[in-house]
Amino acid sequence: MKIAVLASEGAPYAKSGGLGDVMEALPAALQRIEGNEVLLILPFYKKIKENPKYPTELVSEITVCLGWRKQYCGIHRLMNREDGVQVLFVDNDYYFGGRSGPIYGDLDDSERFAFFSKACLEVMNEVGFVPDVIQCNDWQTALVPVMLNAWFREAFPHTKCMYTIHNVEYQGWADVHFFDDVLALPREYYNVLEMKHAMNVMKGAIESADLVTTVSESYARELMYPYYAHGLDGILSNAAWKLTGITNGIDTDVFNPATDGALPAHYDADTFVEGKAKVKAALQEEVGLPQQPDTPLMVMVTRLAGHKGLDLLCYSARQLLLEEDCQLLILGTGEKQFEGFFTQLQQEFPDRVAAKITFDLGLASRIYAGGDIYLMPSKSEPCGLSQMNAMRYGTVPVVHATGGLRDTVPGCDENGQGGLGFTFQSYNADDFLDAVKRAIHLYRDNREGFRALQHTDMIQDFSWDKPAQRYMALFDRMLNW
């Protein structure tokens, strides 16, 4: 099957979050399936262009029209991808290559990614890649199914399109003038994109795609409710017949405690007791915490954003530190209020709390490996990847039972049995604190039980093989319509 995967970011080339991780592993997993030919198209951001690790060759140069705009589009092929996935970069200095700074956040983001969406279709046409299936992601490529129907049916008469929602919070809103000025789509598409007297490209994709998926089964159900859907519950309920959840995997080669180059010691499911103890001691030293092997080390690697459940931790952290013998280590950057809170907490409890307000992938690995308990109380979570990273490294998760956290971390009892981690159902600080304490007590009072749970976590299959098969089943379904 010929599969085109379109996205605004993909590791290792450019990544701002979980979408980037998925775009690293999913195309590779699809390519491993016999008979598949996978093409990944990404914007040629400045930091990719300038990175000598990613040599490219110029395949062709075309012009992409967007309303009255005529924009240059260079097509660059990555020359050193080894797994068989074809990677093409869309080159345009005005929108991508000439800008430094973060991937998103420019005032003209709507226009930048409208250009990218159109360019993806033009690029496939130019290089003669006629996909059976297009898989596109989040608001940045949401215009692809709309433009495919409006303009590219001659070029791609049988191509089906799957649209995947990684986070419904960001929908790609623009004002109504965007329709004529930037898109200049035929008039009949106005209603497809219009919502509340504005343009909403995610709504357009949900209505236009052949199938809509999201990144866990629970989140697919939650998306029908106003509490989770950020205004799209009605649209998504209407699309329920074509909405499915496929829980993400993680890249188990990248996240592997037996080989991870960032770790001072390596281990697997049989040797984790000694291995993790070594990493924990080194980690405590690295972050300035006392080296106490038997004090439970609670860790978190996260964007410091509200929906990650940090308000629960802020509310209960002092009580937890006063009532339990434990250490807390947080790595991440984000909203100032949380950066300030954890910095302050570290000053109050210098022997108990370490707050690393930075982005550091190596330290992240050491935290997944050196921690005992991984906290992830997200208010909502489409899938979440770090709880799986933590389990793969033998660190027991404590999660709010929502979205992908519910699907990947079934709750265990106080003896650590019957599940993979500690969960709480309703989003409040008391229930969170209770779940954390159950984890700490198992660690303190029944170390054998805690180790059995760590072992169970480590032997789970979080690889992309099964999710990739589920994507294939849905691709087949679309093609057989």
Parallel/antiparallel/unpaired status of strands 37-43 and 86-91 = parallel
Q: Is position 185 an interface residue for ligand GLC (rule: CB under 6 A)? A: no
List, in sequence order, the alpha helices (H) in 159-200. Answer: 177-178, 190-193
Complete edge-to-edge strand list for the sheet that includes strand 327-331: 353-356, 327-331, 297-301, 373-376, 396-400, 422-424
Q: Is position 364 an interface residue for ligand GLC (rule: CB under 6 A)? A: no
Sole binder of ligand GLC in the list 4, 13, 18, 366 (CB under 6 A)? 18
Q: Is position 17 an interface residue for ligand GLC (rule: CB under 6 A)? A: yes
Q: Is position 451 an interface residue for ligand GLC (rule: CB under 6 A)? A: no
The helix (run of H) or strand (run of E) holding residue 13 is none
Which residue is closest to ligand GLC by CB?
18
Q: Is position 309 an interface residue for ligand GLC (rule: CB under 6 A)? A: no
Of the listed pieces 47-55, 120-128, 375-383, 439-447, which binds ligand GLC according to CB under 6 A?
A: 375-383
Least Å from the CB of residue 248 to ligand GLC = 5
Phi and psi (nearest 5°) for 154? Answer: -70, -45
Sole binder of ligand GLC in the list 76, 118, 166, 356 (CB under 6 A)? 166
Nearer to ligand GLC, 228 or 475 (CB): 228
Of the listed pieces 12-20, 94-102, 189-197, 199-207, which binds ligand GLC according to CB under 6 A?
A: 12-20
Least Å from the CB of residue 245 to ligand GLC = 11
Least Å from the CB of residue 90 to ligand GLC = 22
Nearer to ligand GLC, 18 or 397 (CB): 18
Q: Is position 334 an interface residue for ligand GLC (rule: CB under 6 A)? A: no
Site residues for ligand GLC, window 401-430 (CB under 6 A)?
Answer: 404
Tokens (6 digits) for 94: 């005005």
Of residues 443, 431, 430, 421, the one with CA closest to residue 374: 421
Q: Is position 304 an interface residue for ligand GLC (rule: CB under 6 A)? A: no
Site residues for ligand GLC, window 241-280 (CB under 6 A)?
Answer: 248
Angstrom distances, CA of residue 196 to CA of 140, 209, 229? 20, 21, 15
SS3 content of the chain, % helix, strand, coil (to 5): 45, 20, 35
Q: Is position 43 an interface residue for ligand GLC (rule: CB under 6 A)? A: no
Of the listed pieces 11-19, 86-94, 348-356, 444-452, which binds ligand GLC according to CB under 6 A?
A: 11-19
Of the listed pieces 175-183, 273-281, 326-334, 376-384, which binds ligand GLC according to CB under 6 A?
A: 376-384
**Rounded distance between C-alpha atoms, residue 184 and residue 364, angstroms:** 45
Q: Is position 167 an interface residue for ligand GLC (rule: CB under 6 A)? A: yes
Binding mask 206-225 for ligand GLC (x = CB under 6 A): ---------x----------
Residues near 432 by beta carbon (within 8 Å), at least 6 away in sequence: 309, 312, 313, 316, 377, 398, 400, 424
Cβ atoms within 10 A of the Cβ of 3, count?
24
Beta bridge partners of 373: 298, 396
Least Å from the CB of residue 166 to ligand GLC = 3
Are the C-beta atoms of residues 100 and 83 closer than 8 Å to each other?
A: no
Looking at this protein, which amino acid is placed at residue 79? M
Look at residue 373 and give its three-state secondary structure.
strand
**Rounded distance between C-alpha atoms, residue 277 and residue 94, angstroms:** 50
Sole binder of ligand GLC in the list 195, 385, 396, 420 (CB under 6 A)? 385
Q: Is position 22 an interface residue for ligand GLC (rule: CB under 6 A)? A: yes
Q: Is position 27 an interface residue for ligand GLC (rule: CB under 6 A)? A: no
Angstrom distances, CA of residue 143 to CA of 40, 150, 194, 310? 17, 10, 13, 33
Q: Is position 467 an interface residue for ligand GLC (rule: CB under 6 A)? A: no
Tokens (6 digits) for 340: 């300030």
Q: Is position 10 an interface residue for ligand GLC (rule: CB under 6 A)? A: no
Tokens (6 digits) for 140: 């940045």
Nearer to ligand GLC, 185 or 312 (CB): 312
Nearer to ligand GLC, 372 or 381 (CB): 381
Which residues of the shown chain bind ligand GLC in the complex (CB under 6 A)? 17-19, 22, 166-167, 215, 248, 381-385, 404
